[in-house]
């Protein structure tokens, strides 16, 4: 039985999966691209020469398509990438089906000629919100061809010759997008596509447990750090760290509502952000003079947020020693790039404070169950000799979660988030 949905924006009947697309791909693509304004009314997709499942990512189904048009047009991409929100055969991948709604809206926003960030050109994008069913079809990034570098894997940034060069261009992309919004250079439909609800923003990613459960989570985490010292930097295996983490975390929990209000109170710090500009969600190319540029992929969590939250999302999977050393410089780079492109001038001390506090909330809501996740998915991790042991590559979820959690905890230790909280409370009194 063919599964379909009706796009809320275009009214196009859409296939819900790769299998559904296979039944009449030429007819659907022609109809969809006509409705989206990509394909001239007198042109059509004559043939789909390749339709191949792509297994990457951890949500929805994906496919690689090669197409031929009835009328050749150099402006039309022939190599396409299709991303479906649904995976009916895998509930784990299907659970995040709503995220494509943001990607669909971002695709509409990106069609502006002056959109400040390179993204894959969309040829069709729509979403049926009631069922969580949608599809995004874009030109396919030609990784490893011409000037475009091969895809860089998540959590493998330590293999790059100069990670700082890559993260500077990623941070610049985030700054250009925020600056364009603040100077009114994005679509007049911005508010309709990405409405900002301050109350909802303040409630985003709640910590979700009380003091007693937090104490238990810290104790379990401390025991895990102690029993797996080879996986973590020395600062986290110090006997004094769990007690400090507990005291700071309990204070954050006590003042959670105040922290949340603070992070949304200053409009200079709020903008539409890509939430996950890890290296693998971008492509890179160089000019003939060696200048590095990037484009951004996978906008599933895009929304208005505190820009520091967006910055952490992009830096979270960088090498631990790197982020400790380079974080302040990258925050300053963002601040200067934002102002240089017409955005607000953010005080250096305030952007650092916003970063620390936004990270405490994100980390406490998402990172404290590290021992349980690893125990369930990769109990043999005790045999690992270090954080880059090949054993970890057996489970990409564990590999990624371990690195992000390590970065969160190491920054907590090195930047003293408890002091950041006290500073905010003094400012708010």
| Mean pLDDT (whole number) for 367-381 | 93
- pLDDT band of residue 93 (cuts 50, 70, 90) is confident
pLDDT at 372: 94
Both tokens assigned to 145 = 């061809």
pLDDT per residue as tens digits for the range 64-80:
999 999 999 999 999 99
Exposure class string for 62-96: b at 16+ Cβ within 10 A, else e: bbebebebeeeeeebbbebbbbbbbbeeeeebbeb
Average pLDDT over all residues of the chain: 94
Which residues sit opposite 13 in a β-bridge? 6
212-252 pLDDT, tens digit each: 999 999 999 999 999 999 999 999 999 999 999 999 999 99
CA dihedral 324, 329, 331, 333 (to 10 degrees): -150
Contacts 24+ apart (CB under 8 A), 43-51: 43/69, 43/70, 43/71, 43/73, 44/69, 44/70, 45/69, 45/70, 46/70, 51/18, 51/21, 51/22, 51/25
Span(s) in the chain for CATH 3.30.200.20? 4-139
Alpha carbons 59 and 300: distance in angstroms, whole number? 10
Report d(CA 347, CA 69) in Å as an integer. 52
pLDDT above 70: residue 1: no
Q: Are 363 and 214 in contact (CB under 8 A)?
A: no
235's tokens: 């600062």
Q: If you average pLDDT over residues 326-352, what whole number do you get?
A: 97
**pLDDT given for residue 88 in this prediction:** 83
DSSP sequence for 341-370: TT-PPPPHHHHHHHHHHHHHHHHHHHSTTH
CA 261 to chain centre: 23
Percent of the chain surpassing pLDDT 70: 99
Specify the domain boundaries for CATH 3.90.1200 within the chain.
157-428
**Whether pLDDT at 186 is above 80:** yes
Q: What CATH architecture does domain 157-428 belong to?
A: Alpha-Beta Complex (3.90)
Average pLDDT over residues 295-301: 92
Q: Tell me if 359 sits within 8 A of 413, measured CB to CB.
A: no
pLDDT tens digits, 280-294: 999 999 999 999 999
Residue 342 in this model has a pLDDT that exceeds 90: yes
Both tokens assigned to 300: 């599933």
- Check pLDDT > 80 for residue 429: no
pLDDT for residue 15 = 96
What pLDDT sits at residue 90? 77
- Residue 157: pLDDT band (50, 70, 90) is confident
Distance CA 82, CA 253 (A): 42
Query: Which residues lie closer than 8 Å to 101 by C-beta, 6 or more apart?
Result: 85, 127, 129, 134
Paired residues of 63 in beta bridges: 53, 82
3-state helix, strand, coil in the chain (%, to 5): 50, 15, 35
pLDDT digits (tens, 9 = 90+) for 189-214: 888 999 999 999 999 889 999 999 99
Query: What is the tens place of the pLDDT at every residue in 28-57?
Result: 999 999 999 999 999 999 999 999 998 876
Residue 158 CA to residue 418 CA, distance in Å, equals 29
Distances (CA, A) of 328 to 17, 120, 311, 331, 352: 44, 31, 12, 5, 7
CATH class of the domain comprising 4-139: alpha beta
Query: Cα–Cα distance between 401 and 375 in angstroms, integer?
Result: 12
pLDDT of 158 reads 86
Distances (CA, A) of 343 to 84, 186, 189, 270, 405: 35, 12, 19, 11, 31
Q: Is 392 exposed, middle or buried (0-12, 13-18, 19+ CB in 10 A)?
A: buried
pLDDT tens string 384-415: 999 999 999 888 889 999 999 999 999 999 99
Instruction: Give Cα 54 to chain centroid, integer Å.
Output: 20
Q: Residue 156's pLDDT is what?
A: 86
Least confident span in 10-14, 44-48, 86-90, 368-372: 86-90
Q: How far apart are CA 83 and CA 93, in angstroms?
A: 12
Query: What span, in angstroms and rounded, lies between the C-alpha atoms of 88 and 60?
Result: 9
Q: Rounded to whole angstroms, how far apart are CA atoms 84 and 57?
A: 12
């Amino acid at each position: 039985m063919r599964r379909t949905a009706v796009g809320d924006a275009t009214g196009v009947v859409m296939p819900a999966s790769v299998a559904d697309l296979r039944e009449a791909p030429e007819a659907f693509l022609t109809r969809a691209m006509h409705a989206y304004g990509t394909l001239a009314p007198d042109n059509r997709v004559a043939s789909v020469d390749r339709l191949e499942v792509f297994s990457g990512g951890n949500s929805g189904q994906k496919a690689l398509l090669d197409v031929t048009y009835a009328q050749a047009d150099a402006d039309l991409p022939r190599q396409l990438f299709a991303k479906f929100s649904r995976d009916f055969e895998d509930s784990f991948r299907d659970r995040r089906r709503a995220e494509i709604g943001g990607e669909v809206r971002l695709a509409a926003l990106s069609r502006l000629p002056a959109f400040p960030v390179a993204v894959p050109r969309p040829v069709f994008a729509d979403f049926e919100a009631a069922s969580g069913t949608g599809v995004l079809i874009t030109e396919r990034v030609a990784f490893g061809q011409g000037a475009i570098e091969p895809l860089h894997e998540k959590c493998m940034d330590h293999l790059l010759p100069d990670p700082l060069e890559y993260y500077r261009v990623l941070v610049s992309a985030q700054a250009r997008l925020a600056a364009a919004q603040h100077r009114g250079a994005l679509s007049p439909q911005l508010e309709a596509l990405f409405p900002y609800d301050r109350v909802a923003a303040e409630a985003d990613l709640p910590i979700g447990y009380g003091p007693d459960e937090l104490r238990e989570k810290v104790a379990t985490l401390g025991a895990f750090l102690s029993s797996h010292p080879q996986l973590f930097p020395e600062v986290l295996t110090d006997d004094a760290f769990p007690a400090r983490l507990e005291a700071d975390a309990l204070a954050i929990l006590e003042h959670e509502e105040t922290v949340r209000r603070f992070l949304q109170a200053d409009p200079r710090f709020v903008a539409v952000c890509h939430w996950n500009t890890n290296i693998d969600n971008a492509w890179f190319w160089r000019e003939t003079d060696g200048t590095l540029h990037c484009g951004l992929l996978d906008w599933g969590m895009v929304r208005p947020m505190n820009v520091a939250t967006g910055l952490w999302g992009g830096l979270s999977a960088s090498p631990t020693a790197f982020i400790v050393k380079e974080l302040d410089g990258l925050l300053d780079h963002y601040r200067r790039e934002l102002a240089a492109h017409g955005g607000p001038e953010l005080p250096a001390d305030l952007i650092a404070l916003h970063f620390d506090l936004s990270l405490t909330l994100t980390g406490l809501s998402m990172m404290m169950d590290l021992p349980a996740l690893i125990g369930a998915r990769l109990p043999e991790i005790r045999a690992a000799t270090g954080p880059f042991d090949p054993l970890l590559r057996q489970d990409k979820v564990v590999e990624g979660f371990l690195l992000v959690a390590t970065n969160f905890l190491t920054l907590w230790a090195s930047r003293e988030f408890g002091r950041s909280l006290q500073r905010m409370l003094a400012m708010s009194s």
